[in-house]
Structure formats: structure tokens, C-alpha cells
Amino acid sequence: MLHVPAKGTAAPARDPQQISVPALFMRGGSSRGAFFLEEDLPADRQERAALLLACYGSPDRRQIDGIGGSDPLTSKAAVVGRSTHPEADLDYTFLQVGIDRPMVSSGGNCGNMLAAVGPFAVLRGLIAAEEPETSVRIHTTNTGQVVTARFRVAGGCPCIEGEARVPGVPGTGSSIALDFGDCAGAVSGKLLPTGSVRDRVRLGAREVPVSFVDAATPFVFVPAAALGATGAENPAEILANAGLMADLEAVRGWAATVLGLVGRAEEAAWHSPNIPRVIMVGPPQDYLAPDGPVAADAMDVCVRQLAMQKPHNTLAVTGAVCSAVAGRLPGSVVQELSRAEGDRTRLGHPAGVLTVSAHVREGADGWRIERAAVERTARLLMAGELFAPRRRIEEVRALLAG
């Protein structure tokens, strides 16, 4: 177990201008952020948000005065504690820290950060390390679901060396298996929030087909061709296409109204920027990733996700799980474009290919997810104290109140 100074013990003695909070800085999958013990953060949501924004250097598009990395994938936080769920060992709360806006969102889950929760719990002594493999049941408080994580342990520490590869992350690492089980209805309470596997959304004078699926996190899927795209565009190309970005946000806004999060689609970007999420889908095709060419025959379907109104550089784990589940639903826009057979789906995303195993079965009461699993890696990057200026916390507190 790592030794981390107790909350607030170091900074005031050395510098009365700042406060400190114990934290581990970790990579989980293709995301990165600070991991905190629940007991080390303020219980009040506004106070917690003010502290996190100050620690991350927000609001500022560069986040130069904090640990945020000016990207939705690196402006994340995880809060972990002993479980309040009878069938779990840990509670995990995911927080998306705003970059250029004073907001902290707890909507939805992050499966990449989730990959590091088990190792964090071992390092901080929340659970016992079992060799050669530790299994832990994690209650994702954002969605109320329980995910099982399995990872190798040696010498009492989570293993980091291995052959598992995560597109978008250099090198390889020790495999962390995440099984989401029956993850339907993460936010809406049902797999198909509209009750239909396929809907149509009006974009100006046009109507486009969509499939709105709530598995692990709610995602609305739209065919790239319906938006004048291919589905193989890189993030920079998507961002540079103002019309495409506006259409994707409009589709996401429609889904937000279905969930009752906003009254009008136009309000979603401000009032619910993180949930639901949108994915543009295309058929298997060749494209160039940062590490080299990706061949059409290496994937079953091509996907491009937005995160916090920006093109995702890879693919969220929850997005991968939801995509694989959607691909198992006959008539969905994903199923029509995918050539996956059996339980395995290979998802082509901007950084490479991510494989998900999902099994969905139709019963008398509709579709049921029996299994949805994915492989990730994680690593501890830094351990110690995170500092935030008292004055900056006060300034952010005022912004939140306003």
C-alpha cells in the first residue's frame, strides 16, 4: 500500500495560501486523471466542484494552472470509497471536469477511468491484493450499475507489464478485464429509451435515421452517410467541419430531450454537455491512424465519437460497449453497417481498433444484455498531494454560484 499524506496535513504548514488533498494520478485506458478517496474530498457537491476546478486549472482552455490536459480525455477525476451497494466491493464516482467552463459533470460513466479503480483500491488499501489475480466488484454510482474488474497482482502491487494493447496508448501493459454484465438502462432505466430500435430526427429540412441505445452510458448513433460524411474522418477533420459538428450536436440534443435532461435540443450543449453522447457510424473502411494505416478488414464497423462537444481522439469504453450492444439489435443503424458475427465486435476508431465481447438475447420482456466485456490497461503515474490556491477556490466558488 502506498503512503500518501493525510488530507490537509502538509500544505497549510508550508504554505497558508494553498490547501492540499491526497491523490494518485493515474492513467486508465486512454484517459487520465486524479483518483481520490471519497473521505478526502468535501461532501458538499459545490465545494467539491470548486476544489476540483481549482486543482485542474479550470476554467481555462489550456488549464495551465492545474493538472488538466486541455482535453476531455485528460480532464477527468475518479472518487473511490467503500461500497454502499450490497453486491459490490467499491463505490466509484466519475467526474468530468470542465475545461473552459466552470462545471463538473457526474452524468454517465467513464470506462477508461474505471479500469484504474481496482489498482487504485489496492494501492490505497481499500481492498486486499490477491495473487495472481484480483477480482473486484465496482459500483458505478453515476449509473447505479456493478462492473467486475479482474487484474493481475504480483508482490502486493497491480501488474503493469503485459501484452495488452490499447489503441491511443503507447506500448503494451497488463490486461484489466472489465465485465459490464447487464448494463442496460444506465440513465433511462431501459435499453431503448424511445422504445424503438430506430427513430428519425429532423435536422432542418432533412430527417436522419438514428438508434438511441442506453447500455453502460446512453449513446445515440447516426449513420455518417446521412450527414454527408464517411465515418472514417480523423478528429481534426470532424472539428473543422462546422456543419457536421452542428448536426452531431443537434442529434445529441434530441437524445437529451428524450431523457428529459433539457426541454429543447439547443439547450443540451450548455445544460447537459456530457450526457447523452453521440457516435457517427460508417462501414468498415481503410483510414490512417496516428500510428499508421488501419485496414478495413481489421474492423467490423467504423465509429467516431464526440466528447464534451469535441471529437474523441479514441473511443470511450462505454461507447465501445454500447456500440457492440447496438450492433446486436436487428434494425439498428449500427447493425446495418456492421459485419460482426458472433459475440465479438471490432470497432475502428481514430486511434485503431477496439474489440468488445457482447452477448444480447431477446426474451419475452424484450432484449437483455447477458455480457459486455472489454480489455484495458492502467498505470500509476504519480502519488502525493494535489494543491489548490485558496483564493482560486473562492473565485471558482463564486463562478459556480453565479
**Is residue 267 domain-shared with residue 357, that is, in the same domain?**
yes
pLDDT for the residue 10: 45
Tell me what pLDDT residue 6 has: 62
Residue 252 forms part of a structural domain? yes
Q: Are the C-beta atoms of 350 and 236 separated by less than 8 Å?
A: no
Domain CATH number, residue 178: 3.10.310.10
pLDDT tens, position by position, 347-381:
999 999 999 999 999 988 889 999 999 999 999 99
Number of domains in the chain: 2
Give the residue numbers spanning the domain of 297: 199-362
Q: Is the dihedral of CA 191, 194, 199, 202 positive or negative?
A: negative
Contact 8, 128 (CB under 8 A): no
Determine the pLDDT at residue 11: 44
Specify which residues 184 forms β-bridges with.
215
Distance CA 23, CA 385 (A): 6
212 inside domain: yes
On whether residue 82 sits in a domain, the answer given is yes
Q: Are residues 178 and 203 in the same domain?
A: no
Q: Are 90 and 118 in the same domain?
A: yes
Whether residue 205 is found in the same domain as residue 146: no
Q: What is the pTM of this model?
A: 0.86
CB 147 within 8 A of CB 140: yes
Convert 310-339 into a string of H (helix), E (strand) and C (coil). EECCCCCHHHHHHHHHHCCCCCCHHHHHCC
Alpha helices per DSSP H over 90-142: 111-114, 117-123
For 397, residues 6+ apart whose C-beta sits below 8 A from its C-beta are: 46, 47, 50
Q: Are residues 385 and 340 in the same domain?
A: no
* CB hemisphere CA count around 22 (13 angstroms): 16
One domain for residues 92 and 228: no
Tell me: do 57 and 120 sit in the same domain: yes
pLDDT tens digits along 168-214: 999 999 999 999 999 999 999 999 999 999 999 999 999 999 999 99
Q: Would residue 194 count as lying in a domain?
A: no
Is residue 225 situated within a structural domain? yes
One domain, residues 41 and 130:
yes
110 part of a folded domain? yes
Residues 301 and 252 in one domain: yes
Do residue 137 and residue 212 come from a single domain?
Answer: no
Residue 52 falls inside a structural domain? yes
Shared-domain flag, residues 159 and 253? no
Residue 371 placed within a domain:
no
Specify the residue for cell string 489496492: 122
Under-70 pLDDT residues of the chain:
1, 3-13
In whole angstroms, what is the distance from residue 366 CA to residue 191 CA? Answer: 9
What's the distance, CA 351 to chain centroid? 16
Greatest Cα pair distance, the chain, in angstroms, is 65
- One domain for residues 175 and 206: no
